[in-house]
């Protein structure tokens, strides 16, 4: 077993601050890294030490492996936690950490390469006897029409690497295929350095459900209750909840069993997430694996009383999981996460950087806000637009929605445009309350009328 004295967080913003808080509770010192644009961020203030690693653009700072490793070495960090985004799913980073004798808090490079590459992950899912959506056998770089003919239209062109909705196109007929495939590949290449694509059958109006899992080096594994991430805009998640209102106990058991099989087949060590698409009949199909912590992990933490960052650190230290399957299966209540972004909803979700003039947080029992901003903070325009995550717990889904309404009305940000108004409309929408969410849910809300703050 390794004992960590100091951990560097190779990330920024709310996730860096969230990791720092767990490190403090575990008695482990923290090192923050920051770009010149992030000097005033809360994660820099709260860490025991902080190192500037470069200019504002992420490809000159947060994505530069040599600078990150240099910061870890000069501060004497034993391990690096990558958070999510940036280098979190980069196998070269994991390998580089190992070469320097620094523990990477996440799966090894081989697991990232196998499961982080969506086409390879599909093959592992088949081996694990998990249903997959019809698609190409691996990646495709030519003969697009021939590959599509075996699947039928509409279909999805999907990037094999990365995430965040990049490199994804819906193609409804053959006339669009060549152009969309080339565009998806180019976008993926620019975003992830990997232009591999594959085709997958498009499932109309699916539920997007996912299972968080954790497996330690001793083979102990737990699969947590599902999260429902169906409310999205352009493949970007806006709101997540757990458990899914569309999943019954029998289906949950099948999802959990499928996830455990995949984790064991791949000999994965760490915390990860298996994502599924589920049709209206409750049939589910493997979609992909995220070999990192998810943005929406707090809803799982709320209903299972588990600190997932702590579990990641325990696993990396060679210790066994602190929870077992019986404990996490006996979850309690319902949780909802609202992603509050710095975007102008009425201007095609254009980014809205600038100074936070006023900032009033909601409070009360079972209300959690993960954020790195504060009144007077100047939000840079170089990075992801996520401002804050509002996470709500209730004994029932109805109570969680009622508490969400109250907390959203208390939440106030001025100086920039945010998506707070959109979330207020979502929780007051009759279809959301009745859990009748379809693929055009957000588009219908946006078409209704202008969204106010």
First CA to last CA across the chain, in angstroms? 50
Side-chain half-sphere exposure of 160, counting CA atoms within 13 A: 25
pLDDT value of position 453: 66
| Cα–Cα distance for residue pair 109/247, rounded to 1 Å | 33
| Residue 292 known to be catalytic | yes
Strands 155-159 and 168-171 come out as: antiparallel
Residue pair 78/317 in contact by the 8 Å Cβ criterion: no
CA dihedral (395, 327, 299, 281) positive or negative = negative
Q: What are the φ and ψ backbone dihedral angles of 343, each rounded to 5 degrees?
A: -140, 150
Residue 114 tokens read as 């196998």
pLDDT value of position 2: 67
pLDDT in tens, 315-353: 999 999 999 999 999 999 999 999 999 999 999 999 999
Please say whether the structural domain 207-448 has been given the CATH code 3.40.50.300. no
pLDDT value of position 165: 75
| Cα–Cα distance for residue pair 84/19, rounded to 1 Å | 11
The C-alpha angle 222, 371, 430, rounded to 5 degrees, equals 75
| Cα–Cα distance for residue pair 260/266, rounded to 1 Å | 10
Residue 338 tokens read as 């609202």
| Cα–Cα distance for residue pair 201/282, rounded to 1 Å | 17
Cβ-count burial of 14 within 10 angstroms (0-12 exposed, 13-18 middle, 19+ buried)? buried
Low-confidence ranges of the chain (pLDDT < 70): 1-2, 164, 449, 453
pTM: 0.91
Outline where DSSP puts E strands in 243-366: 270-278, 284-290, 334-341, 343-344, 350-351, 354-355, 358-360
Q: What are the φ and ψ backbone dihedral angles of 124, each rounded to 5 degrees?
A: -70, -35
| Cα–Cα distance for residue pair 216/203, rounded to 1 Å | 34
| Cα–Cα distance for residue pair 427/182, rounded to 1 Å | 38
pLDDT value of position 21: 98
The CATH number of 6-105 is: 3.40.50.20
pLDDT in tens, 364-419: 999 999 999 999 999 999 999 999 999 999 999 999 999 999 999 999 999 999 99
pLDDT value of position 204: 80
Question: Would you list the domain boundaries of the chain?
Answer: 6-105, 134-201, 207-448
Fold classified for 134-201: Dna Ligase; domain 1 (3.30.1490)
pLDDT in tens, 404-426: 999 999 999 999 999 999 999 99
Cβ-count burial of 239 within 10 angstroms (0-12 exposed, 13-18 middle, 19+ buried)? buried
Strands 386-394 and 334-341 come out as: antiparallel
Q: What are the φ and ψ backbone dihedral angles of 154, each rounded to 5 degrees?
A: -75, 155
Q: What are the φ and ψ backbone dihedral angles of 65, each rounded to 5 degrees?
A: -55, -45
Residue pair 403/219 in contact by the 8 Å Cβ criterion: no
Cβ-count burial of 360 within 10 angstroms (0-12 exposed, 13-18 middle, 19+ buried)? exposed
Strands 79-81 and 386-394 come out as: unpaired
Of 12, 215, 292, 403, catalytic: 292
């Amino acid at each position: 077993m390794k004992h960590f004295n100091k951990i560097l967080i190779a990330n920024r913003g709310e996730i860096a601050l969230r990791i720092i808080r767990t490190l403090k509770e575990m008695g482990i010192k923290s090192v923050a890294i920051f770009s010149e644009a992030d000097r005033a961020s809360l994660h820099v203030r709260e860490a025991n030490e902080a190192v500037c690693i470069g200019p504002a653009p992420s490809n000159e700072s947060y994505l530069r492996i040599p600078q990150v490793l240099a910061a870890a070495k000069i501060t004497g960090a034993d391990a690096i936690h990558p958070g999510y985004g940036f280098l979190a799913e980069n196998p070269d980073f994991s390998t580089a950490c190992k070469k320097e004798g620094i523990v990477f808090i996440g799966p090894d490079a081989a697991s990232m390469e196998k499961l982080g590459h969506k086409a390879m992950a599909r093959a592992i899912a088949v081996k694990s006897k998990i249903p997959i959506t019809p698609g190409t056998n691996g990646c495709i770089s030519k003969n697009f029409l021939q590959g599509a003919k075996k699947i039928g239209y509409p279909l999805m062109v999907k990037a094999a690497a990365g995430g965040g909705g990049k490199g994804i196109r819906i193609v409804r007929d053959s006339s669009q295929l060549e152009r969309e495939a080339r565009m998806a590949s180019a976008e993926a290449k620019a975003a992830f350095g990997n232009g591999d694509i594959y085709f997958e059958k498009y499932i109309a109006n699916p539920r997007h459900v996912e299972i968080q899992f954790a497996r330690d080096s001793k083979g102990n594994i737990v699969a947590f209750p599902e999260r429902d991430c169906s409310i999205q805009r352009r493949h970007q998640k806006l709101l997540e909840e757990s458990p899914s209102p569309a999943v019954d106990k029998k289906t949950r058991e099948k999802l959990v069993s499928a996830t455990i099989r995949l984790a064991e087949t791949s000999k994965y060590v760490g915390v990860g997430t298996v994502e599924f698409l589920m049709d209206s009949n409750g049939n589910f199909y493997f979609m992909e694996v995220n070999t990192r912590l998810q943005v929406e992990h707090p809803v799982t933490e709320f209903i299972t009383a588990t600190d997932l960052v702590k579990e990641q650190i325990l696993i990396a230290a060679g210790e066994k999981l602190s929870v077992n399957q019986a404990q996490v299966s006996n979850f309690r209540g319902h949780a909802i996460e609202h992603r509050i972004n710095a975007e102008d909803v009425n201007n095609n979700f254009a980014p809205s950087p600038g100074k936070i003039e006023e900032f009033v947080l909601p409070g009360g029992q079972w209300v959690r806000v993960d954020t790195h901003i504060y009144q007077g903070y100047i939000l840079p325009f170089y990075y992801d637009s996520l401002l804050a995550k509002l996470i709500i717990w209730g004994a029932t889904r109805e109570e969680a929605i009622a508490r969400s309404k109250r907390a959203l009305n208390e939440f106030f940000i001025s100086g920039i445009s945010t998506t707070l108004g959109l979330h207020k409309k979502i929780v007051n929408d009759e279809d959301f309350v009745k859990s009748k969410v379809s693929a055009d849910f957000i588009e219908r809300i946006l078409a209704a009328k202008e969204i106010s703050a």
